């Protein structure tokens, strides 16, 4: 790895003081990373660590829990407390970790298949409980590492290895699901807007309760090639303009509306935090109360 791979600081991009050096947060011995050229997950990794830096979190106090898939490999590159768990279960592992060690900042990094398909039930109940965890769902609309199968977020008419004639299933809106399930903080941003994504993640980390952030990423090799979406620059430039036309446009055969994909903070509400409630309940029972 050379200095050209990672710029020393992000001061020019509005980084915090002291300047952010991503190399201080990485296990450099694991480089080069496995991600494909142009994959948005690398931007997501950088912005997450940038956000942790801006929040003043010490590496020893950060725990990153990952599942299976391209997003699940991210934890191995982070020089902090990292956990690579089973498919669809990172939120379940993170729940136990946060309850046992409430002093840690716990961040879950998961993918659209890992989080919404096999892990969908865990997401619903993590939102309902409102434990102080930040969940980053990296959404590239496909099972990129395991063969390019259709996922719950694959846009209509897109080609995948399991939808050779185009996807006909309705698309899951993860942010609306998280809001309905009771998450205290819900937001979405695209990897193209790295400073905005960093600020959104930092805001989610600072929120006391369950925070869900959907990160719209891109899969250049598996998804982009099959759907003739261009190279990585074209895919990234198209994130704000033409993603999810079947949801945010009136008809699929009409021209895409500019900035069709809504981003930003959708929900930010103060709700009872699960860990606080558990500890209060245990204290009441131990003193002879009922915990009611």
User: Would the pLDDT of 17 be above 80?
Assistant: no
Q: Which of 32, 73, 26, 72 is nearest to 50 (CA)?
A: 26
Could you tell me if residue 175 is inside a domain?
yes
Range in 55-59, 93-97, 240-244 the model is least confident about? 240-244
Where residue 258 falls among pLDDT bands split at 50, 70, 90? Answer: very low
Higher pLDDT, 240 or 118: 118
User: Would the pLDDT of 12 be above 60?
Assistant: no
Where residue 287 falls among pLDDT bands split at 50, 70, 90? Answer: confident
Could you tell me if residue 282 is inside a domain?
yes
Could you tell me if residue 291 is inside a domain?
no
User: Would the pLDDT of 289 be above 70?
Assistant: no
Residue 240: per-residue pLDDT: 56
Q: Looking at the DSSP assignment, which residues form a beta bridge with residue 213?
A: 136, 187
Q: The dihedral of CA 122, 128, 134, 137: what is its sign? A: positive
Count of residues for the chain?
292
Give the SS3 label for residue 71. helix
Burial class of 277 by CB neighbour count within 10 A (0 to 12, 13 to 18, 19+): middle
Higher pLDDT, 244 or 150: 150
φ, ψ for residue 195, nearest 5 deg:
-60, -40
Model-wide pTM > 0.85: yes
Residue 255: per-residue pLDDT: 46
Q: Can you read off the two tokens belonging to residue 253?
A: 């055969």
Could you tell me if residue 6 is inside a domain?
no
* 105-126 per-position pLDDT tens digit: 999 999 999 999 999 999 999 9
Contacts 24+ apart (CB under 8 A), 170-175: 171/244, 171/246, 171/247, 172/116, 173/247, 174/112, 174/115, 174/116, 174/137, 174/139, 174/212, 174/214, 175/212, 175/214, 175/266
Burial class of 169 by CB neighbour count within 10 A (0 to 12, 13 to 18, 19+): exposed
Could you tell me if residue 14 is inside a domain?
no
Give the SS3 label for residue 136. strand
Structural domain boundaries, residue 55: 20-286
Residue 41: per-residue pLDDT: 93
- Residue 133 CA: distances (Å) to CA of 166, 173, 214, 229, 247: 36, 20, 14, 34, 29
Show Cβ contacts of residue 240 under 8 Å, excluding neighbours closer than 6 positions.
190, 192, 193, 258, 259, 260, 261, 263
Residue 290: per-residue pLDDT: 61
Q: Can you read off the two tokens belonging to residue 45?
A: 């990794």
Could you tell me if residue 138 is inside a domain?
yes
Could you tell me if residue 226 is inside a domain?
yes
Q: Looking at the DSSP assignment, which residues form a beta bridge with residue 190?
A: 216
Where residue 221 falls among pLDDT bands split at 50, 70, 90? Answer: confident
**CA atoms of 210 and 275, how far apart (whole Å):** 11
Residue 94: per-residue pLDDT: 97
Could you tell me if residue 279 is inside a domain?
yes
Q: For position 146, which CATH number holds?
A: 3.40.50.970
Per residue, the 3-state secondary structure of 34-95, as one string, reads CCCCCCCHHHHHHHHHHHHHHCCCCHHHEEEEECCCCHHHHHHHECCEEEECCCCCHHHHHH
Number of domains forming the structure of the chain: 1
Where residue 269 falls among pLDDT bands split at 50, 70, 90? Answer: very high
Residue 174: per-residue pLDDT: 93
User: Would the pLDDT of 248 be above 70?
Assistant: no
């Amino acid at each position: 790895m050379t200095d050209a791979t990672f710029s020393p600081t992000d001061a020019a991009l509005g980084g915090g003081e002291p300047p952010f050096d991503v190399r201080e947060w990485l296990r450099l011995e694991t480089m080069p990373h496995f991600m494909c050229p142009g994959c948005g997950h690398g931007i997501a990794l950088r912005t997450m660590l940038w956000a942790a830096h801006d929040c003043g979190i010490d590496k020893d106090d950060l725990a990153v829990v990952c599942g299976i898939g391209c997003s699940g490999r991210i934890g191995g590159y982070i020089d902090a407390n990292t956990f690579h768990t089973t498919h669809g279960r990172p939120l379940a592992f993170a729940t136990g970790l946060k309850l046992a060690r409430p002093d840690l900042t716990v961040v879950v990094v998961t993918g659209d298949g890992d989080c919404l398909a096999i892990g969908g039930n865990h997401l619903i109940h993590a939102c309902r409980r409102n434990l102080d965890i930040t969940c980053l769902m990296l959404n590239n609309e496909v099972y990129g590492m395991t063969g390019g199968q259709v996922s719950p977020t694959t846009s209509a008419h897109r080609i995948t290895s399991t939808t050779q004639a185009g996807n006909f299933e309705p698309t899951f809106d993860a942010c609306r699901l998280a809001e309905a399930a009771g998450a205290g903080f819900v937001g979405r941003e695209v990897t193209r807007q790295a400073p905005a994504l960093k600020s959104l993640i930092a805001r989610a980390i600072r929120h006391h309760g369950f925070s869900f952030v959907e990160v719209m990423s891109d899969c250049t090799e598996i998804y982009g090639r099959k759907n003739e979406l261009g190279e990585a620059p074209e895919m990234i430039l198209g994130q704000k303009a033409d993603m999810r036309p079947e949801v945010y446009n009136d008809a699929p055969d009409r021209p895409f509306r500019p900035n069709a994909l809504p981003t930003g903070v959708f929900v930010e509400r103060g709700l009872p935090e699960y860990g606080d409630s558990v500890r209060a309940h245990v204290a009441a029972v131990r003193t002879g109360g009922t915990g009611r």
